[in-house]
Chains A and B, each alone.
Chain A
């Protein structure tokens, strides 16, 4: 995690502007501070992009706590995304890949108070995990949310994030022998694939 901390902060979500605290994020931050100490690296509870940055090695424990807590009851992992943040210059280190989890609760959603708050943040709890770009290994949360299975496979396929501690991490969309991970910013278009020529974007 120290590698990731050394990388420059991402261009997004870091600037907390003034505003009301997001109740869900704040509750999650409190819960994690009590149950899994050291899990929350950075907590943004206000502004347009409230989120919790979680240490990669504590992710599964934190996910389990968020899932099992009767108050929060984050029973659905809506989406697993990954964002590539390559370093501007080689001196800045390897750059980072940020894995973003959008969690939502269906068990808790009953009640008018939640519905009002849902308008603000759509009711999502956003978790971020930042890992170095040259060694993007994140523990899998498939054991907690079974639906994360395919999302993780897709992020391995397109972004090359290695999710550890899960059964099989195969490509899901692209063929198994596809060169590289296309959503990496430095990925180059292949010239041909199995005898079918591909005209690169510059040629079209």
Chain B
């Protein structure tokens, strides 16, 4: 396995002793209050949350519900999220829909890395959150995609109903509205990993 596929956090981006500062807070406080910057930030966040293009990327059963969400009855396009892009370069949000296996994990990670910033990930379904029904005996199932990529929104269910996925998109929009549209901070990346590692060691 080449080193770039190593799934442990990169020491450069891993949290050091000091708490990482949110890039938006790193500005000069006076500058932060500047009307123009605030307005531009507002416009940026407004556009980001209203044009969340998902990646056309399905893994398993949940992908069918993802398709149902985009299709006739539920119509994700109402929220501006109906443009499913097949190329990760043009996608904003990766809906990890379906079981992530050990064979697939490097590819999921790679696809996530191919997306341009700011990027978001929605963990859709029990398998993606923590291995779901396969977490106990499913030797080939990754016990949570947050061991591989940082996740913004978790949607429980097996599979989650389309309403739940729509709710997740709304939650993501709310999250962008409240705390800005930037991707997850380094200290939030793979936060679940520590927990899992601790459990694994015990």
Contact = CB atoms under 8 A, between A and B. Distances in A.
B202 interface: yes
Interface string B147-158: 110000000000
A182 B101 CA distance: 15
A27 interface: no
A199 B140 contact: no
B147 A196 contact: yes
Contacts, number: 50
A88 interface: no
Interface string A154-196: 0000000000000000000111001000100000011111111
A204 B103 contact: no
Nearest to B140: A174
Specify the main secondary structure of chain B where it touches its partner: loop
A70 interface: no
A197 B142 CA distance: 8
Nearest to B143: A199
A20 interface: no
B115 interface: no
A201 interface: yes
Interface residues of A, number: 19
A19 interface: no
A122 to B, nearest CB: 29
Contacts of A190: 139
How many chain B residues sit at the interface, stated as a range, is 20 to 34
A90 interface: no
Say what secondary structure dominates the interface of chain A: loop
B18 interface: no
B60 to A, nearest CB: 14
A194 B102 CA distance: 9
A129 B193 CA distance: 46
Residue among A178, A182, A190, A195 with most chain B CB within 10 A: A195
Contacts of B102: 175, 178, 193-194, 196
A197 B192 CA distance: 12
B196 interface: yes
Given A182-B139, A196-B147, A197-B196, A203 B1 contact: no
Given A195-B7, A203-B200, 11 more contacts: A174-B140, A193-B102, A194-B1, A194-B5, A194-B102, A194-B106, A196-B147, A197-B196, A199-B143, A199-B200, A204-B135
Interface of A: 173-175, 178, 182, 189-199, 201, 203-204
Interface of B: 1, 5-8, 102-103, 105-106, 135-137, 139-140, 142-143, 147-148, 196-197, 199-200, 202
